[in-house]
Structure 1
Amino acid sequence: MLQKTKEEEPKKQLPMSMENHKMTVMPLPKGRNSSIQAFIPACDSTGNDGDNNNITKNLPFSKHLHFDVCKCNTTWLKPTTSPFPTQRGCNAVDPFANPHDRNYDQWIVSNNHIQHPSALENFKEIVASSKGKSIVMFLDYDGTLSPIVDNPDRAFMDDEMRDAVREVASCFPTAIVTGRSRDKVYKFVKLEELYYAGSHGMDIQGPKKGPKFAKIKEKAVVLFQPASKFLPLIREVYKLLVERTKSTPGAKVENNKFCLSVHFRCVDPQKWSSLAEQVNAIIKEYPNLRLTRGRKVLEIRPIIRWDKGKALEFLLESLGFADLHSVFPIYIGDDQSDEDAFKVLQHRRQGAGILVSKSPKETGASYSLREPAEVMKFLHGLVESNKVTVN
């Protein structure tokens, strides 16, 4: 739960650059990999988050944040034999897909047992499970609220989806949890009442108008950046990746502030392996970074153990729901990185994880939706269900 730090007596004279900043205490979620409180400056009246000054109190990494050993290899990036005809360009079929999992219906029902039931067809079941509990919504962006597109800079959310998210946020605490930079996803969504967790949860900011549903009295805007010490390193590697990948047509390097993305959706599949080797060769020189893969994207992150699952736990605690059995988190996402959040829900035995996918894949989610259009229907359903409950 958020707490304000007590002012010392007599009051200390603050530097001019800090006069308009409030200090907020945001505790890390209690659990296996967290044990401290981090002092983070709230945004000032201009909306600045302190990135360009020295007032942010960085976490003592060596004591409190766990690190992963960077083990880079490209064996999982080599195209495999696929029953699909080879297609080139932006619409190429992903050869990483399991050729034995092409039938969506077989994925939903296996050995006469429903494994990944539709969240729409089982909507009443989800609502019944949430009865008497506080719903907290967590939404991925790309592939969940907007369609996957060839150019990541044009992954726009349509107005109808924006209205659906706005209505949900008026009923429940709602967060966007994405691998994108927080600033970029905010420009896509354009809703001030949401929590935004960018860079796979390494850049979290609360609603600009203050939290509406948090079980706290303070209304300060919160900023939490556990990987801030890695910023110079991320910027350095970004420049290298841009330079080294210029020779690969269709490759695009995206700077997501605390992590980097190398998109290969528009790269000739025959060049995927060589692109991966280029990226891997760079990351091998930086042991404090690690390489992972998403949907036709290579992702470079700091080695701290912080992901979308940790962001989910952190936000629940910030809202005051961490140790409550009366909370019902719903997480909707489509990417491999969302599996970290699904695992957290499984471990907590709370809420519902919903995978957005038309293609069968291994997942820890309890339910499934095929596409963003179904996500929007699900969100509308939650709003209508809440109206009935309130009335």
Structure 2
Amino acid sequence: MEPSPGDPGRPRRTGPPPARQRVRAARSPDGGRNRGDRARPASEGLPGVTPVRYDAVETVARAVCHEEGSLLLLTDFDGTLCEFQTDPEQVALSPARRQLLASLVEHPRFDVGIVSGRPLGDIKSRVALDGAVYYAGLHGCEIEGPHNAATAPINDAELPDLAEAATRLDVIAAAVEGAFVECKRQSVTLHLRATTTEDRRRAESRFHDDTRDLLARQRLRLQPGDCILELLAASSWTKGDAVIWIRRDVERRRATSVRLVYLGDDQTDEHAFAALGSDGVSVAVGPRPSGARYRLPDPPAVEHLLGRLVEDITTA
């Protein structure tokens, strides 16, 4: 793996400025009061819908801490540590959640890392933790640890297709109120969270029509997400690659094996869940279908879990 080229800075954004749109904070299904203390369905009372069963925070905490030894806690950012916002620039880590993470970072049993689709420089500035923290940006393409760093190489043949994709997505975004395009080093993303349901469906249909030939060239790959459609360079790494790299680095530094815990809400996090191994603890956040072993409802429940882990290490 090649050394990281450094902080790429903030991504380019095109389309209507999201700052002008009304931002509405996400809420948990029970109005924000429930913190995941009991199992509950995500679709309770809806006819014809199979309920999603959430695990109690205590159940997940026991799964994490039931064995002695070193733990590597990795977590997604948007939708897991923080509630979604219509404008991604407005997403912020709360002081309470930052302090809980800091307490885990300071404990000798834990290593902590953030694995995000945001560029490395962006996620580092938003999390802003002191100490030996791992950061992985661009879905694992940029990784920085306390002593080592890595970045996925990009094939020069993929760059023209990324540029062409950005041009096509700009046209789609210009025709849809609330849509905008985000260009990163190895991807281009169409954001649709601030659009109406009808406009979103039209934009998604046009996206698939307008990018079919680009994907057929096999130099880009499609990564759908929560109200986003992202095209990445085919050679780019995944969050699963980041999990493997970080685990090896931690085990090399500690000179012992570590047990992995990963929390994530997005389809991109499935690559990370698959990389954990049989002894890992995978935790999906929200109702999206997932192969994770455990499930919590929302970021407030994740905050409660972090608090429970801090309680466990301080009373042990």
Indicate yes or no: 2:306 matched with 1:379.
yes
* Letter in structure 1 aligned against 2:152: Q
- Whether the aligned pair in 2 keeps the contact of 1:132 and 1:326 (CA below 8 Å) is no
Question: 2:247 corresponds to which residue?
Answer: 316
* Letter in structure 2 aligned against 1:344: A
Question: 1:356 corresponds to which residue?
Answer: 285
Q: TM-score, normalised by structure 1?
A: 0.63
- Whether the aligned pair in 2 keeps the contact of 1:203 and 1:258 (CA below 8 Å) is no
Alpha-carbon shift at residue 200 of structure 1 (Å): 0.7
Distance in structure 1 (CA, Å) of the matches to 2:296 and 2:75: 13
Distance in structure 2 (CA, Å) of the matches to 1:143 and 1:296: 12
Identify unmatched segments of 5+ residues in structure 1.
1-37, 43-47, 53-88, 92-99, 109-115, 212-218
Question: 2:44 corresponds to which residue?
Answer: 103
Q: C-alpha deviations, 1:32-54, integer Å up to 9, x for none? A: xxxxxx3x336xxxxx72879xx
Alpha-carbon shift at residue 289 of structure 1 (Å): 0.9
Q: C-alpha deviations, 1:332-384, integer Å up to 9, x for none? A: 11111111111222xx2022011111x3x421111122221221121122223
Map 1:228-243 onto structure 2 (within 5 A). Answer: 229=156, 230=158, 233-243=161-171
Map 1:114-133 onto structure 2 (within 5 A). Answer: 117-128=55-66, 131-133=67-69
Which of 296, 317, 330 is equivalent to 2:227?
A: 296
Map 1:216-295 onto structure 2 (within 5 A). Answer: 219=147, 221-227=148-154, 229=156, 230=158, 233-286=161-214, 287=217, 288-295=219-226
Alpha-carbon shift at residue 155 of structure 1 (Å): 0.9
- Whether the aligned pair in 2 keeps the contact of 1:263 and 1:298 (CA below 8 Å) is yes
Map 1:182-193 onto structure 2 (within 5 A). Answer: 182-193=120-131
Alpha-carbon shift at residue 143 of structure 1 (Å): 0.8
Question: 1:388 corresponds to which residue?
Answer: 315
- Whether the aligned pair in 1 keeps the contact of 2:23 and 2:85 (CA below 8 Å) is no
Larger helix share, 1 or 2: 2
Distance in structure 1 (CA, Å) of the matches to 2:310 and 2:159: 39
Question: 2:263 corresponds to which residue?
Answer: 332
* Letter in structure 2 aligned against 1:195: Y
Question: 1:49 corresponds to which residue?
Answer: 6
Q: C-alpha deviations, 1:55-88, integer Å up to 9, x for none? A: xxxxxxxxxxxxxxxxxxxxxxxxxxxxxxxxxx
Q: TM-score, normalised by structure 2?
A: 0.77
How big is the alpha-carbon RMSD for the aligned residues of Structure 1 and Structure 2? 3.0
Which of 181, 195, 203 is equivalent to 2:119?
A: 181
- Whether the aligned pair in 2 keeps the contact of 1:90 and 1:267 (CA below 8 Å) is no
Q: Tell me: CA distance 1:118–1:261, structure 2 relative to 1, closer, same or farther (3 Å).
A: farther
Alpha-carbon shift at residue 235 of structure 1 (Å): 4.4
Alpha-carbon shift at residue 321 of structure 1 (Å): 6.0
Report SS of the residue matched to 2:268.
helix
Distance in structure 1 (CA, Å) of the matches to 2:160 and 2:128: 28
Indicate yes or no: 2:113 matched with 1:156.
no
Q: Tell me: CA distance 1:236–1:191, structure 2 relative to 1, closer, same or farther (3 Å).
A: farther
Which of 112, 120, 143 is equivalent to 1:204?
A: 143
Q: Tell me: CA distance 1:119–1:365, structure 2 relative to 1, closer, same or farther (3 Å).
A: farther
Distance in structure 2 (CA, Å) of the matches to 1:285 and 1:378: 44
- Whether the aligned pair in 1 keeps the contact of 2:134 and 2:144 (CA below 8 Å) is yes
Alpha-carbon shift at residue 236 of structure 1 (Å): 4.7
Q: C-alpha deviations, 1:134-155, integer Å up to 9, x for none? A: 1001110001111011111111
Alpha-carbon shift at residue 233 of structure 1 (Å): 4.5
Q: Which runs of 4+ in 1 moved over 4 A?
A: 228-233
The count of corresponding residues between Structure 1 and Structure 2 is 276
Q: Tell me: CA distance 1:257–1:329, structure 2 relative to 1, closer, same or farther (3 Å).
A: same
Alpha-carbon shift at residue 305 of structure 1 (Å): 6.6
Report SS of the residue matched to 1:283.
helix
Report SS of the residue matched to 2:190.
strand
Q: C-alpha deviations, 1:266-312, integer Å up to 9, x for none? A: 21222223312332344334321122311111111122373111211
Q: Tell me: CA distance 1:321–1:334, structure 2 relative to 1, closer, same or farther (3 Å).
A: farther
- Whether the aligned pair in 2 keeps the contact of 1:180 and 1:199 (CA below 8 Å) is yes
Distance in structure 2 (CA, Å) of the matches to 1:301 and 1:350: 30
Q: Tell me: CA distance 1:295–1:190, structure 2 relative to 1, closer, same or farther (3 Å).
A: same
Alpha-carbon shift at residue 327 of structure 1 (Å): 1.8
Question: 2:13 corresponds to which residue?
Answer: none
